[in-house]
């Protein structure tokens, strides 16, 4: 098909297409792939923590209508093991690599970046400020001061692009995005999961081992799309759309709302081939509607 899916996500970072996995939803390397990961616009890793972390007590999952509650809790082999064992595997793929970074304090984010700075083959960092499953709450994603401090500290460690993944569990997500931009972030990705819970009435107890979990899947797509629309109109840095995208139509909605790329999460669990299907679907849409390049439709619905 004679159509250009490539996009410059942010200055200097060129993607072959706008589709990438949401952090933690796609098992890369180790041969466990439904398709060649080099087809993706980028690989986004599961979040890398400064030290090994086992993740949360099970049960970690609960399916809801059109959604999935998870309290996996970012299990990580730790940045040292990631650097030595995982990174060499990921470098073999011919696409951009975005390393997602997790931490419980601003200093921990900076520490992970410091360890990875000397490694080549990393296109950008995505700071996971919004996982609702760690610690005593959601410190970075919902507190503008903490967010700014953490971004500034990370900024001091690297000249590579920094993407901030934003939590939707705030009153006005535009303020958080603006804070991230002012503190030196190069892009924002939104939304992470919406905090929720479920109770087992038979056992009279919360279902999830962590009590609270993050809601993902088609149930949250309208909320995510609204927030992407809002943020794309409120900041000058690029926006990556994520939240309940399950098919080509969903992905197109986010691109038309102003996202320069999209991340696919929960849909990978239901259909391991969904990402290549969406890449092909976007190309087909562009051809059918007389566009020659992806960039022509970014934000087109905002006219």
Partner 1 sequence: MKFYYDNKRGQSVMMFTKGTIVAQRVVSDQYHLLTIEQPDIAKQARPGQFIMLKAWERIDLLLPRPFSLYRILPERGQLQILYQVRGQGTAEIARRVPGEKVELTGPAGNGIVLPEEGAIALLGRGIGAAPLMAIAETAAARKGLAVYTFLSARKTELLLGREDFALYASRVTLATDDGHHNEGRLLTALLAEMIAREGIAIRSVYTCGSRRLARGLLPMQARYGFTAYIFLEETMACGIGSCKGCVCKVREPGSPAGFVYKKVCQDGPVFPVDKVVW
Decide if 217 contacts 67 (C-beta within 8 A): yes
Among 15, 19, 23, 26, binds partner 1 (CB under 8 A): 26
Spot the catalytic one: 116, 131, 147, 242: 131
| Window of 6-14, 56-64, 139-147, 189-197 that interacts with partner 1 by CB under 8 A | 56-64
11/90 Cα distance (integer angstroms): 23
- Binding pattern for the stretch 141-170 against partner 1, x by CB under 8 A and - elsewhere: ------------------------------
Decide if 23 contacts 128 (C-beta within 8 A): yes
Among 246, 257, 281, 283, binds partner 1 (CB under 8 A): 246
264/140 Cα distance (integer angstroms): 23
Work out whether 25 is an interface residue with partner 1 (CB under 8 A): yes
| Window of 6-14, 20-28, 109-117, 226-234 that interacts with partner 1 by CB under 8 A | 20-28
Classify residue 193 by burial, with Cβ atoms within 10 Å: 0-12, 13-18, 19+.
Answer: buried
240/242 Cα distance (integer angstroms): 7
115/78 Cα distance (integer angstroms): 11
Give φ, ψ of 174 to 5 degrees: -65, -35
183/218 Cα distance (integer angstroms): 32
- Is 66 annotated as catalytic? no
| Window of 5-13, 184-192, 194-202, 269-277 that interacts with partner 1 by CB under 8 A | 269-277
Classify residue 54 by burial, with Cβ atoms within 10 Å: 0-12, 13-18, 19+.
Answer: exposed
Q: Which of residues 60-99 bind partner 1 (CB under 8 A)?
A: 60-63, 65-68, 70, 72, 75
- Binding pattern for the stretch 273-302 against partner 1, x by CB under 8 A and - elsewhere: x-----------------------------
Radius of gyration of the chain (CA): 18
Site size for partner 1 (CB under 8 A): 36
Work out whether 11 is an interface residue with partner 1 (CB under 8 A): no
Among 39, 59, 78, 105, binds partner 1 (CB under 8 A): 59
Work out whether 199 is an interface residue with partner 1 (CB under 8 A): no
Helix, strand or coil, per DSSP, at residue 280: helix
Point out the residues that are catalytic: 131
> Under the rule (CB under 8 A), what is the footprint of partner 1?
24-27, 30-35, 46, 54-55, 58-63, 65-68, 70, 72, 75, 217-218, 246, 266, 268-273
């Amino acid at each position: 098909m004679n159509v250009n899916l490539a996009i410059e996500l942010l200055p200097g970072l060129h993607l072959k297409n706008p589709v990438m996995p949401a952090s933690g939803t796609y098992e890369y390397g180790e041969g466990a792939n439904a398709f060649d990961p080099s087809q993706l616009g980028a690989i986004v890793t599961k979040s890398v923590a400064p030290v090994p972390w086992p993740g949360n007590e099970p049960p970690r999952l609960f399916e809801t209508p059109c959604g999935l509650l998870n309290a996996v809790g970012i299990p990580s082999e730790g940045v040292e093991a990631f650097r030595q064992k995982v990174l060499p595997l990921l470098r073999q793929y011919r696409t951009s690599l975005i390393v997602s970074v997790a931490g419980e304090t601003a200093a921990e984010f900076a520490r992970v970046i410091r360890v990875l700075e000397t490694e080549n083959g990393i296109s950008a960092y995505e700071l996971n400020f919004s996982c609702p499953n760690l610690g005593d709450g959601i410190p970075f994603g919902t507190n503008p001061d903490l967010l700014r401090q953490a971004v500034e500290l990370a900024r001091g460690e690297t000249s590579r692009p920094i993407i901030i993944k934003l939590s939707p569990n705030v009153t006005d997500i535009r303020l958080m995005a603006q804070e991230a931009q002012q503190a030196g972030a190069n892009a924002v990705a939104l939304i992470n999961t919406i905090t929720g819970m479920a109770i087992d009435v038979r056992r009279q107890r919360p279902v999830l081992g962590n009590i609270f979990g993050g809601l993902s899947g088609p149930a949250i797509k309208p909320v995510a799309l609204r927030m992407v629309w809002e943020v794309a109109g409120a900041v000058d840095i690029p926006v990556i759309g994520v939240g309940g995208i399950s098919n080509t139509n969903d992905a197109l909605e986010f691109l038309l709302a102003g996202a320069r790329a999209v991340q696919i999460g929960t849909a990978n669990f239901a259909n391991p081939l969904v990402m290549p299907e969406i890449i092909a679907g976007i190309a087909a849409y562009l051809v059918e509607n007389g566009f020659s390049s992806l960039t022509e439709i970014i934000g087109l619905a905002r006219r």
